[in-house]
Amino acid sequence: MADELKRGLEGVLVAESDLSYVDGEVGKLVYRGYDIEDLARGASYEEVLYLLWHGSLPTAAELDSFAADLAAEREVNDDVIETVRALADADERPMAALRTATSMLSAYDPDGESDDGESALRQGRRITAKIPTVLAAFERVRQGEEPVAPDPDLSHAGNFLYMLTGTEPDAVSEETFDMALTLHADHGLNASTFTAMVIGSTMADVYSGVTGGIGALSGPLHGGANQDVMEVLHEIDASSKDPVQWVKDVRADGGRIPGFGHRVYKVKDPRAKILEEKLRDLSESSGDTKWLDYTTAIEEYLTDQGLVEKGIAPNVDFYSGSVYDSLGIPVDMYTPIFAMSRVGGWIAHVAEYQEDNRLIRPRARYTGPEDAEFIPLDER
Ligand code: CMC
């Protein structure tokens, strides 16, 4: 039994956590006991961060002080902004630019090398506050515009949209974006969170853990899927193909449908349900239902084909892209936005794990040759 191999660590328990619980059989997600639906509709991203990092929902006074402390950390050193400019000029991909800039932020952290839980959490707060500034600056420079300085009077969600466009967002956009941040903040031991935990388990610093998390999140099997979904919708639109025909073609080639399937959920992801509803509201109020029509047609077809019944159901990425599109956010910023939210979960999990740390160090079953005879280089 000890030597049983679990490919992809499927179903393996490696830690205890109070942070989030995913019930994949019924499609339920909770953060510290609170249903994601209640949090998405009732709590701001700042409240959710407080909940994850400090263990309970804040009072109004606690939230005010927490949000002010977070907002006070939004400014980013000029050297980092210069690097962001260089990365944008070099046409770097946004997730790679974010990975580089996040790593560089550590050089300017006043706590230096964190060696206790409190300074690690302070550093985590700084990273969380600065990631939106880095991302918005990168996008502005790519568009040939100057970065917009953060506004400490705006919410985390509102300030990001403001720095991206230079205009304060309307209430619906801010609320929609805030909801998306809340929905993505934590999700058990997903690949990027586990990556951050593995790094944290060596007692490496928070910047290393977050930088690693960004790398893991960038892949198409994880956070990269939200961009893939939107690219598919654009491709369908540009080719004037029927969305169902597009799906049939992909399936005939043995391809995967981005935004479908999940290691834990065997039913529709509860986050997808909330985002679908949001997309419906936004589409109906704008009168533009194109993405809603395409995604609905794809989901209905795959349901008829029995795929959803087999457990390959829409995940969070299937609807998030269309919602971001309605906010005017460029497609290749979707995964960085996922990182901008999930950083809260990475930091919470690393801090929780380090409280009772044990180095994470699994094994592989060795399948290479045995007793190979060594031949010196000049005789080979
Ligand atoms: N389209 C078609 N078939 C699929 C899909 C899909 N999107 N996902 C899984 N399958 C099939 C797969 O072909 C396999 O079939 P078979 O057993 O006949 O070979 C079976 O389902 C199991 O797939 P798996 O890859 O062994 O399962 P997994 O738990 O390793 O996969 C996954 C999870 C998310 C990698 C996979 O569902 C996938 O590639 N989905 C598309 C990418 C995507 O949407 N990723 C976002 C995940 S949710 C947000 C996040 O975590 O970032």
Strand partners, 30: 21, 35
Residue 96 half-sphere exposure, CB side, CA atoms within 13 Å? 7
The confidence score (pLDDT) of residue 297 equals 96
Kindly report the protein residue whose alpha carbon is nearest to atom 35 of ligand 1: 221
ipTM of the complex: 0.97
Mean pLDDT of 135-148: 98
Residue 260 CB–ligand 1 contact under 6 Å: yes
Residue 344 CB–ligand 1 contact under 6 Å: no
Residue range 201-227, pLDDT digits in tens = 999 999 999 999 999 999 999 998 999
pLDDT at 337 over 80: yes
Kindly give the number of the ligand 1 atom that is closest to the alpha carbon of 229.
Answer: 44
Mean pLDDT of 112-127: 86
Confidence of residue 1 (pLDDT cuts 50, 70, 90): low
Q: Is 312 left (phi over 0), alpha (psi -120 to 50) or beta?
A: beta
Residue range 63-82, pLDDT digits in tens = 999 999 999 999 999 999 99
Residues of the chain with pLDDT > 70: what percent? Answer: 99
Residue 312 CB–ligand 1 contact under 6 Å: yes
Assigned token pair, 316: 């969070």
The domain limits of the chain are: 28-219+333-355, 225-326
Confidence of residue 113 (pLDDT cuts 50, 70, 90): confident
Angstrom distance (rounded) from CA 364 to CA 7: 10
Angstrom distance (rounded) from CA 216 to CA 223: 8
Kindly give the number of the ligand 1 atom that is closest to the alpha carbon of 315.
Answer: 48
Distance (Å) from CA 260 to ligand 1 centroid:
7
Confidence of residue 118 (pLDDT cuts 50, 70, 90): confident
Residue to substitute in 36, 260, 317 for testing ligand 1 pocket (most ligand atoms within 8 angstroms of CB): 260
Kindly give the number of the ligand 1 atom that is closest to the alpha carbon of 311.
Answer: 21
Which residues are part of the catalytic machinery?
A: 262, 317
The confidence score (pLDDT) of residue 2 equals 64
Kindly report the protein residue whose alpha carbon is nearest to atom 1 of ligand 1: 256
Residue 257 CB–ligand 1 contact under 6 Å: yes
Distance (Å) from CA 24 to ligand 1 centroid:
14
* pTM for the structure as a whole: 0.95
Residue 262 CB–ligand 1 contact under 6 Å: yes
- CATH code reported for the domain at 225-326: 1.10.230.10
The confidence score (pLDDT) of residue 116 equals 78
Report the helix count and the strand count for the chain, using DSSP H and E. 16, 3
| Bridge-based pairing state of the strands 28-31 and 20-23 | antiparallel
Give 28-219+333-355's CATH code, choosing from 3.40.50.1450, 1.10.580.10, 3.40.1550.10, 3.30.465.10: 1.10.580.10
The confidence score (pLDDT) of residue 110 equals 92
Residue 29 CB–ligand 1 contact under 6 Å: no
